[in-house]
Structure 1
Amino acid sequence: MNPKLDDLHPYPFQKLAQLFEGTQPPEQAHIALSIGEPKHPAPASVLDTLRDSLADVARYPATKGLPELREAIATWATRRFNLGTGNLDPDTQLLPLNGTREGLFSFAQAMLSGTPDSLVVSPNPFYQIYEGAALLAGAQPYFVNSTRNGGGLPDFSSVPAATWDRCELVYLCSPGNPNGAVMGLEDYRQLLELADRHDFVIAADECYSEIYHPEVEPPLGMLEACRRLDRDDYRRCVVFHSLSKRSNLPGLRSGFVAGDADCLARFLRYRTYHGCAMPIHHQQASITAWNDEAHVQANREAYRAKFDAVLPILAPWLDVARPEAGFYLWPRTPMDDETFARALYNEENVTVLPGRYLSRTSDGVNPGENRVRMALVASQEECVEAAQRIARFIERRTQNGSI
């Protein structure tokens, strides 16, 4: 057995199941705000393509993917992130993935040296794949508390130079999970300067980039920042995107990685052995998805409507604010976050995720403590009902003195 498996923490939802042991929620319908699985309808055109291309299961897919898929992705990314024609080569600077989760994990296995003193720097709170990828690649995770910008962005200025010298890979998440914070151009400039000085690679998880308020500027991506900073080769930089959140297709397992051609050449070699080529009918469906923006705009409007409906209900009872992007709320809780989540489930049959399950103690602080993550992925009616139950729960607890 690989002894590194023993270093892995239980996944957040395993912890949540353990937390709920012995509870007896009321018989009213359960509403889950705990997992970020989109529930909006999948685009009909994508499902049609998927069905019409099922005959392609008779063919082995290539690890590098169909040229038509890479071209569709490059066209989308160039338009979305203002990269300029010809500045993202679909043959050398882009690979399809079976979703960002698979790519974020396997990228670390390909990039890291495995030496005992190597580090992977991660924001805190974080997506747990970052930690698991580091540990199973033989590195140690180093967590940077997200204390900048009102508790949203990782404070990379707090990291000692000696730590950067040991760093081989940095994971970013912008827009952030769970706080929705978005990195700006100066944030990228400072991190890129550190990468050049200390020789590490940056892996930017941008799977929430298309969920933002329809009337504001789209979140800045790392490749776009590179272009604006005259780094046309995207040296040391790769970005990960997915159709799961953008297009409500979490079960399609389709995404891509793009950026530094040297990194991706090494990653392609790894993936050829890994055996993770995307099925051809999934590739065909993905082409349809990347070529259409109408369903993405409708998706944004649906999330905007849910935030508009839910926040006025919760604001009198919780310290909560609309995120810059993404579909999570990240409120402070009036009691311990585990106690809040367990009692809310037991009394109102609503599940939220304790913030401490998404973070680790770093510099004596666990930045997820006394917060919970709420994913507004269900229907607007269910999200409103959940907010009303949460408000009722807090009001009742306030009145009986248990808060």
Structure 2
Amino acid sequence: MHFSERLYPQARLGMLLNGIETEGNVIDLSIGEPNVPLAQDVLSQIPDGFEALTQYPKPALQFELQETIARWLSRRYKLDLQCFSAKDQITILAGSREGIFMLPIALFNHQLQHGQPITVAMPDPGYPIYLASAENVGAKVQTISQTQLSELTTSELDVYACWAEIDLMFVCSPSNPTGEVLSLLQWTRLIELAKEYQFILVADECYSEIYSEPFAPTGLLEACAKMGNSKFENCLAIHSLSKRSGLPGLRSGFIAGDTHLIKSLQSYRNYHGVSLSSIQLKGSQAAWSDEQHVLSNRQVYGRKFDEFSKQFSDLSCYQMPAGGFYIWLDVGCPAEKFCQRLYQEFAIKVLPGHYLAVSDLTVEALQQYVRIAVVCEQEDIPFIGQAIKQTMQFCCHSNSVGGHVA
């Protein structure tokens, strides 16, 4: 089924819960919309007034933002700014989704125009836009599981035999939805494979700043630099302010990496892309310049995960993620029935895990998993934890005796 005909996971959940009556205020943990204090110190740097909206954004503002991002990348991933060109190796995006969706057509437009199909590889389960971006250009889809990625450096055998077929590969670290993080060794191996088989390796690192101190996830560009690949050949990294700064409404992100690839992306985007307004550019510059609000956000998530870990201490299926703000949980019963019951009895929304699957095998394997976004209020966590455990007990018992679960 093509993405234009397939319901987005949250819309699919809406249909699943349609008609179910519930009481009280709904706690929506089905979507990754950050719930952290607004970074007032950052946003206060945006000039008052909207006069700038009467004009196209000045190129100088975009260049200033590129320079600011380059400094952030240098600090975060220990990159040598002397070998990094902000103008030539960074493209500003109206959010990471735009960049992910346009990548196949922007980078392979010539081949596609001449009827040469491409193959796009992606994590399974994963962010639905990877699949949609491939389908948009009629690409062949290959999937790679988190287990296969994890075994890249631990198995003497090749855990994935399709490297030669790949043209473009998406990898997400920290992973949405599992929270797993790729190590330096795993990144190194992927970079080596991208060079050997000449495919483009794209790292979705939008959750990179949400982690347990001091274990900051390694990034793709960081791994490139450690390998001596200072030009980031065949490699691109995508970042966003949505999760890092809790500003999804700002619609601001970027892609950084290989100069030749960035040139192609920018050329395509000059015609297709949406320019950020002056307000967005200045807000983005303020956000990338400040780390204090990022540290505060990380501490907020840390406290929430500490409380969830306390609530789920008796669940063997619970594991605190290495990064990101999702709990990936095997509830021991059909996920859709679990979600219906949890919503009906406790007005809590979570997402069935198989809604994020790509292949039929993964859809089948994830029938009992749910993704829980830790975007609730701190004081609601004891209630949420108990509600989830009670629903698990009810649904598992009902399934074991053949009873009906609403």
Higher mean C-alpha displacement, 76-85 vs 56-65: 56-65
Compute the displacement of 1:347 (Å).
1.8
Show the counterpart of 1:211: 210
Q: Which AA in structure 1 matches 2:66?
A: R
Q: Counterpart in 2 of 1:288?
A: 286
Count of matched residue pairs: 396
* 1:118 and 2:118 correspond: yes
1:98 to 80, 94, 101: 94
Deviation at 1:106, TM superposition (A): 1.3
Check conservation: 2:119, 2:166, Cα contact below 8 A: yes
Given residue 165 of structure 1, which amino acid in structure 2 is its aligned partner? A
Deviations along 1:296-348, whole A, 9 cap, x unmatched? 11111110100111122123246111000111000111201112111211222
In structure 1, the partner of 2:404 is none
Q: Structure 1 residue 386: deviation in Å? A: 1.4
Distance 2:99 2:154 in 1: 22
- Contact kept, 8 Å, 1:358 with 1:368, in 2: the verdict is no
- Partners of 1:164 and 1:198 within 8 A in 2: yes
Residues 1:17 and 2:14 aligned together: yes
Deviation at 1:35, TM superposition (A): 0.4
**Counterpart residue number, 1:33:** 29
Conserved in 2, the CA contact under 8 Å of 1:65 and 1:95? no
Distance 1:62 1:120, change over 3 A: farther
Offset at 1:391? Answer: 2.2
Indicate the residue corresponding to 2:40 in structure 1: 44
Q: Percent identity?
A: 35
Q: Give 1:289-368 correspondences, 5 Å limit.
A: 289-317=287-315, 319-361=317-359, 366-368=364-366
Deviation at 1:268, TM superposition (A): 0.5
3-state secondary structure, aligned to 1:257 = strand
Render the CA deviation track for 1:178-213: whole Å, top value 9, x for unaligned.
111111122122212221222111111000000001
Counterpart of 2:255 in structure 1 is 257
Using the TM superposition, give the Cα deviation of residue 152 of structure 1 relative to its aligned residue in structure 2, in angstroms.
Answer: 12
TM-score, with structure 1 as normaliser: 0.91
Q: CA shift at 1:108, angstroms?
A: 2.0
Q: State the alpha-carbon separation in 2 of the partners of residues 33 and 151 from structure 1.
A: 31
For 2:371, what is the secondary structure of its paired residue? strand
Residue 92 of structure 1 aligns to a residue in which SS? Answer: helix
Indicate conservation of the 8 Å contact 2:305/2:320, yes or no. Answer: yes
Contact 1:238 1:257 in 2 (8 A): yes
Give the Å deviation of 1:370.
Answer: 1.3
Stretch of structure 1 that moved more, 16-25 or 53-62? 53-62
- 1:398 Cα shift? 5.9
Q: How does 1:151-166 map to 2 (within 5 A)?
A: 157-160=158-161, 163-166=162-165
Structure 2 CA distance for partners of 1:363 and 1:18, relative to 1, 3 Å: closer
- Which one-letter code corresponds to 1:175 in the other structure? P
**Matched residue SS, 1:239:** strand
Letter in 1 for 2:183: G
Partner of 2:172: 173
1:143 alignment counterpart? 143
Instruction: Give the RMSD, CA atoms, in angstroms.
Output: 2.6
Q: Post-superposition shift, 1:385? A: 2.3
